[in-house]
Amino acid sequence: MEIIREVNEMHNRIMMLKQKQKKIGFVPTMGFFHDGHLQLMKKAKEENDIVVASVFVNPLQFGPNEDFDRYPRNEADDISKAEHVGVDLLFIPTVNEMYPQKMKITMTINDRIDVLCGKARPGHFDGVITVVTKLFHIIQPNQVYFGMKDAQQVAVVDALIHDLNFPITLIGLPTVREEDGLAKSSRNVNLSSRERNEASWLYKALKHGHHLVVDGEYNPAIIIKEINNIISDNTEGVIDYLEVLSYPELKPVSHMKQQVIIAIAVQFERARLIDNLLLSDDGHIIRFWKQGETK
C-alpha cells in the first residue's frame, strides 16, 4: 500500500492508473477505522482494480461547537488496517494541503438538508459536498462507497453526483453493528460505560418501529411515538431528531407504504449517535443502496 499525502502526487498516480484503464473504487473517511470503514474497503476491493481510501477530518463540515478537536484519530492504526484489507492507495492530506487558502468558491446544497442532520447541523452538508467534490476531482473514481449509517450523506452525495454530472456510481453499504446492535462509529469511544449500554436501545427502538410496520401500522406519527417512548424510557440521551421520511428525497410522508427511512439522532454527554432503518414500500429492510437502482 502506498501512503500519499500530497494532492499533486495523488493526481500523478491517478493519471498513471487511468492511462492503464484501471477501474478505481474510492472510500472517503475521517479515519479511526472500525469494521464499518473496512467493509466499504473490502467491497471496493472486490469490485475494482484499485482501491483508494482517504483519511481526512474535514474542518468545513464541523460546526463551531462541534467535536472537530476531539474527533478521535489514530493514523498508525488506520494505516495497518487499510493495508490489511488491501487498500492500494491511502490518501492522508493535511488541512493545509486540502485548503491552502480560504476557499474562493462556496458550495451550498439546497435540497434534502432541511431535515435530520442537515437541520440539526447547519452548514454540515455544505462542508461535505465541498470536500467530496475536491476528493472526486483528485481521485477520479469510477465507483464510490459510502455507509448507509449516514443515509442523509448518501442522499446528498446522490444529489451532488447527479446535479454536477460526475461520471461516478454511488454505492451505499449496510450499517455494520456491534453484537448488541449499536451501529459502529468512531464516536462510540466518547460514550461512558453507562451510555454505551444504553446506546443499544437506538437500534432496538428502530427495530420495534419496523415490527409495527410489518404488523400493518403505516402511520408515521404512531411509529415515531413508540420509538420515542422506548428511547426515553431506557436512555438518558436526548433525542435530537426522530423522523420518518421518503428516501432519498427526504420529504415528509403521511403513510409508510413507500420507500421510507426511519432516522434518529440521540445526544449523549460527549457523543451524538445516529442510526436509521431504510424500509421498502412493502416494509422490508433495505440494506444496500445503489444509485439509480433502488429509487
Using CB under 6 A as the criterion, which residues of the chain lie in contact with ligand AMP when the complex forms?
29-30, 36-37, 40, 146-147, 149-150, 173, 175-176, 183-186
Task: Determine the length of the chain.
Answer: 295
Q: How far is CA 284 from the centre of its chain?
A: 21
Compare residues 186 and 259 and give the one whose CB is closer to ligand AMP: 186
186 vs 235, beta carbon nearer ligand AMP: 186
Comparing CB distances to ligand AMP, the nearer of 195 and 275 is 275
With contact defined as beta carbons under 8 Å apart, do 248 and 158 qualify?
A: yes
Nearest residue (CB) to ligand AMP, 176 versus 286: 176
Per the annotation, the verdict on 137 as an active-site residue is: no
Cell digits of residue 216: 400493518
Residue of this chain nearest to ligand AMP (CB atom): 147
CA 230, CA 207: separation in Å to the nearest integer? 11
Beta carbon of residue 39, minimum distance to ligand AMP (angstroms, whole number): 6
Q: Phi-psi category of 123—alpha, beta or left, where left has phi over 0 and alpha has psi -120 to 50?
A: left
CB 34, min distance to ligand AMP, A: 7
CA separation for the pair 99, 164 (Å, rounded): 21
- Could you give the C-alpha distances from 53 to 3, 10, 289, in angstroms and in order? 10, 12, 20
Answer for the pair 107, 131: CB distance below 8 angstroms, yes or no: no
Of residues 34, 37, 84, 124, which has the active-site annotation? 37
Which grid cell sits at 196? 454505551
Query: Could you tell me if 123 and 4 are in contact, meaning their C-beta atoms sit under 8 angstroms apart?
Result: no
CB 39 within 8 A of CB 176: yes
235 neighbors 222 (Cβ within 8 angstroms): no
By beta-carbon proximity to ligand AMP, the closer residue of 50 and 154 is 154
Pairing type for strands 260-267 and 272-279 reads antiparallel
Would you please indicate which residues are annotated as catalytic (active-site) residues? 37
